[in-house]
């Protein structure tokens, strides 16, 4: 029973709902739970299974995915397009603000919130903080879980883990890991058989869950006349109030699932966790329920990290790095945006007609912009060098890449070449006048077809004074040098950018550990903290 009231409404008409859901075991449990509650009150429902980007892209761990909405965007689109009436989500997967036209109609009563460390009995060691042997291999793709494991037991070896809950359990049983971290709610809802495994409950006061962990969200179109009916049978007011407070800090940060952040209401206290470049931090905001939301949120941010009086130039356009930008705002860093690269399409065509077994390789957002029409008509599959490039494809409605690289371009090239080694498909590479030849490592030359699809030119202009600069490519640094001679410190992404800065000998440098916005922020924070 999920409602605050024991008196369930009896509808004058029997409403029917199309319930949109992912096809994973846990998502189907959530959808069936909603269907059963609807039918118990005299309504009817059917399930509509929708594949999401997070389901399709399995070669990328969650922590490498820039952006948000990997498990929700397609379902929300179906709701907006009136292909479904209800979307059932794990609440923690949702962005902190609903897309225009949608709303959270109900939040059912919350399930268990704890994380579990599920381990082989051979890996158990009661003498350690986590109850698992020293140097154990732990599977999780959550930044938050990785950071908190390191805080509790620094010797653990944490490696990525993908797949639905039964798949993850099977990987543990077959010896791929000594232990894995799972949400207790998922285990209990699916009634997973853990016979032969040891389960260690990670206490929430030490291992802070994700905001809204264990809770569901029932999403509907704004203005749907059935919203009050759904609210009366499914909404649990106390749960909704508590997770709203947990998500208030996340909303301020504009973070998604890649952010190593946890928040949980315990009584009248809001307990928060955040990993920063200066270390992992826990904080407690007392009497949070008695405070205005904005006050408790601000207090949490002050306690989680220092507020800096500094300015930073970012060589990305506004909105392209939402997590970096929101963290900068939260920490008082004034941000200026400027790209020193201008691209112009050449309107040159593919050298030969592509086929259904072929690949289109995109190595930058600029390449996406220059060959947008080709992408829409390409008969084969599309691969992207990284998540930044993949995210630029969102502007092309309904289009999703089949493969996304991780880390440095050289590593992405190597991984992609390995992934297509057994296939006969060709690879088509639109490039610029400045990137000619960089794609030669994608595979045997007889399979590669490159053409100059756009030109890249550098711009130079006067810039406002700033303390730091984040440089995202060697070309951006070249343009930066030509535009100002200020004594700023710089953050660089990738070894090629690092080499360009060192060769110039003009700036102190902090190197991001991976070419994404979260690692760029950590590198900047290292400079901010001296």
- pLDDT, the chain, mean: 82
How confident is residue 9, by pLDDT bands cut at 50, 70 and 90? very low
Among candidates 52, 95, 99, which has minimal Cα distance to 211?
95
Question: Helix 517-528 and helix 322-330: axis angle, to 10°?
Answer: 30
- Between CA 398 and CA 402 the distance in angstroms is 13
Q: Which domains does the chain have, with CATH numbers?
A: 16-111+212-304 (3.40.190.10), 115-202 (3.40.190.10), 310-340+459-528 (3.40.50.10090), 342-458 (3.40.50.10090)
**Tokens 């920490």 appear where?**
331
Indicate which residue of 63, 85, 93, 224 is catalytic.
93
Give 52-72 as a DSSP string: -HHHH--SS-GGG--SS-TTT
Give 11-37 as a DSSP string: -SS--EEEEEE-SSHHHHHHHHHHHHH
Per the CB < 8 A criterion, the answer to whether 130 and 200 are in contact is yes
- Between CA 35 and CA 258 the distance in angstroms is 31
- Between CA 451 and CA 441 the distance in angstroms is 16
Among candidates 387, 406, 403, 335, which has minimal Cα distance to 68?
387
Residue 301 pLDDT: 57
Mean pLDDT for the stretch of residues 321-335: 78
Which of the two residues, 278 and 35, has the higher pLDDT score? 35
Active site residue 205: no
**Which of 20-34, 94-108, 329-343 has the least mean pLDDT?**
329-343
- What sign results for the dihedral spanned by CA atoms 399, 400, 406, 409? negative
pTM of the model: 0.61
Query: Which SS3 state, helix, strand or coil, does residue 427 take?
Result: strand
What would the two tokens of residue 168 be? 């993850």
């Amino acid at each position: 029973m999920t409602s605050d009231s024991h008196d369930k409404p009896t509808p004058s008409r029997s409403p029917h709902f199309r319930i949109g859901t992912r096809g994973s075991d846990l998502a189907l449990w959530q959808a069936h739970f909603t269907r059963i509650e609807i039918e118990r009150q005299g309504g009817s429902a059917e399930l509509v299974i929708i594949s999401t980007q997070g389901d399709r892209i399995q070669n990328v761990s969650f922590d490498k995915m820039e952006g948000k909405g990997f498990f929700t965007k397609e379902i929300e689109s179906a709701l907006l397009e009136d292909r479904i009436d209800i979307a059932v989500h794990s609440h923690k997967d949702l962005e902190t603000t609903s897309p225009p036209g949608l709303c959270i109609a109900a939040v059912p009563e919350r399930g268990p919130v704890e994380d579990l460390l599920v381990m082989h009995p051979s890996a158990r060691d009661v003498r350690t903080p986590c109850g698992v042997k020293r140097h154990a291999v732990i599977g999780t793709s959550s930044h938050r879980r990785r950071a908190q494991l390191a805080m509790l037991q620094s010797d653990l070896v944490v490696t990525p883990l993908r797949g639905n809950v039964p798949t993850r359990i099977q990987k543990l049983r077959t010896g791929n890991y000594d232990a894995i971290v799972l949400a207790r709610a998922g285990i209990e809802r699916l009634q997973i058989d853990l016979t032969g495994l040891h389960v260690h409950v990670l206490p929430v006061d030490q291992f802070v869950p994700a905001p809204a962990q264990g809770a569901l969200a029932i999403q509907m179109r704004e203005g749907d006349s059935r919203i009050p009916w759904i609210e009366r049978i499914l909404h649990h007011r106390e749960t909704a109030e508590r997770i709203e407070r947990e998500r208030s800090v996340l909303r301020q940060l504009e973070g998604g699932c890649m952010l190593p952040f946890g928040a949980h209401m315990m009584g009248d206290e809001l307990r928060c966790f955040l990993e920063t470049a200066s270390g992992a931090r826990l904080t407690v905001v007392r009497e949070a329920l008695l405070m205005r939301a904005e006050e408790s949120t601000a207090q949490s941010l002050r306690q989680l990290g220092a507020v800096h009086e500094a300015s930073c130039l970012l060589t990305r356009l506004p909105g392209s790095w939402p997590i970096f930008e929101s963290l900068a705002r939260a920490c008082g860093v004034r941000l200026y945006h400027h790209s020193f690269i201008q691209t112009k399409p050449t309107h040159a065509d593919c050298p030969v007609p592509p086929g259904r077994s072929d690949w289109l390789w995109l190595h930058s957002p600029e390449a996406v912009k220059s060959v947008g029409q080709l992408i829409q008509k390409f008969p084969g599959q599309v691969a992207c060098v990284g998540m930044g490039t993949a995210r630029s494809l969102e502007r092309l409605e309904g289009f999703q890449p089949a493969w996304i690289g991780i880390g440095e371009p050289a590593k992405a090239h190597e991984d992609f070449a390995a992934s297509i080694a057994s296939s006969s498909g060709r690879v088509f590479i639109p490039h610029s006048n400045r990137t000619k030849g960089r794609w030669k490592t994608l595979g045997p030359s007889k399979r590669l077809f490159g053409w100059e699809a756009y030109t890249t030119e550098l711009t130079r202009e006067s810039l406002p004074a700033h303390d730091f600069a984040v440089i995202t490519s060697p070309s951006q640094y070249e343009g930066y040098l030509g535009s100002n001679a200020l004594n700023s410190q710089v953050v660089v992404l990738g070894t090629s950018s690092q080499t360009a800065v060192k060769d110039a000998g003009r700036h102190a440098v902090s190197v991001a550990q991976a070419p994404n916005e979260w690692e760029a922020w950590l590198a900047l924070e290292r400079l901010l903290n001296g």
